Amino acid sequence: MTGSRFLNISVLIIVILCNFFCEKNSYKPETENDIVYKNPAYSIEERTNDLLARMTLDEKIGQMTQADRGALVQESDIQTYLLGSILSGGGSSPTPNVPFIWADMVDSYQSYALKTRLGIPLIYGIDAVHGHNNVYTAVIFPHNIGMGCTRNPELVEKAARATAQEVAGTGIHWTFAPCIAVPRDERWGRTYEGFGETAELTVQMAGASVRGFQGRNLADPSSILACTKHFVGDGGTAGGDDQGDTRLDEQSLRDIHMAGYIEAIRNGVGSIMVSYNSWNGQKLHGHKYLLTTVLKGELGFNGFLVSDWAAIDQLPGDYASDIETSINAGLDMVMVPTRYKEFITTLRSLVENQKIPVSRIDDAVRRILRIKFRLGLFEKPLADRSLTTTIGSIQHRNLAR
């Protein structure tokens, strides 16, 4: 009996040791393909859900923050503050202002984003509104009022496609265009940004522009994200007052000023910029009914909403109130553009104090991440230098002529 018991104990010890060493030797560290959000074989929704579940509150808030490059205290702030987006505002360009220097600059910013814990790439934005108009040697097209005069949607689409290639050649993935305002009063100082005074013409040109910028596949290296603007009624303010009050009944607002957005959404536009103006006395950046109930709900817009330059500052109340009102209204990304540290700290406090629900933060970040996956930024975050050579090409110049 003693020998049998000893044998059983010995066998048990051997089995335990075998299991231990087998499990130890069979352990495999998580590879890139094991991480769902890093594996392009998974669907965009699967990748988005996986990444969102891994993110901290600070990482989420960073995705909602857009800073101007000229406001960065240092480039490493992109990594430190987990910034999700950078833009070049007017005159915010590198020196010398030539295409390959732009590409180098944007790639440098991107490198800091890729060093963060989750490696979420930046989305870089710029006002390429009539060609890549901030970059020396880029081809310049007429402003929208001139393009509208052509009554030629096919030409508008080709111009947007050429612009997309040149923008992509500088490493930039997002243009704040097209402007689909419907100017109703020639005294408005931004009349030239609209295609024309009728909803019918604007609808034709809105769809053509979005198709040109975004292409058949947003992940194509020569495609960029379009941003229809400014939602909604910017061209219909009383007396042509810029950033003024659009005084219309809802049906007229829909028929005249919203029609272009419906067409843009039908063509898959990925971002929409909210307008400075008010509608019957209420600022659009705080208008939950129009931003969330109508645009995201009724019209089915599944991209993300971005503010205009420091536009939330025009809401009544202090800065914390501005952030609370605009985010709860449905704004997903804020073009801060300079107060990024204060914005991040304040938004975090608002969430922690339950003034903004986490569900609203998650919705905003989900929308932003979804677009970044659609753009293919996780696979190809850096500039495609083969496209840099298309900037100012004879083909594009002939098109502009």
Catalytic, out of 127, 234, 308, 322: 308
Q: How many angstroms separate the CA atoms of 49 and 44, rounded?
A: 9
Length reported for the chain = 401
From the centroid of its chain, how far is CA 12?
60
Dihedral Cα 365, 371, 376, 381, nearest 10 deg = -60
Q: How many angstroms separate the CA atoms of 292 and 286, rounded?
A: 10
Instruction: Output the furthest CA–CA distance in the chain (Å, rounded).
Output: 107
Q: How many angstroms separate the CA atoms of 199 and 184, rounded?
A: 10
Q: How many angstroms separate the CA atoms of 372 and 350, rounded?
A: 26
Angle CA(80)–CA(82)–CA(87) in degrees, nearest 5? Answer: 105
User: Is 245 annotated in the active site?
Assistant: no
CB atoms within 10 A of CB 293: 13
According to DSSP, the β-strands at 278-279 and 282-283 are antiparallel
Are the C-beta atoms of residues 337 and 58 closer than 8 Å to each other? no
Q: How many angstroms separate the CA atoms of 372 and 307, rounded?
A: 18
Amino acid sitting at position 142:
P
Contacts of 365 (CB under 8 A, 6+ apart): 52, 55, 60, 63, 64, 332
Contacts of 45 (CB under 8 A, 6+ apart): 370
Hey, what are 291's tokens? 């931003």
Q: How many angstroms separate the CA atoms of 52 and 339, rounded?
A: 25
Residues annotated as catalytic (active site), given as ranges: 308
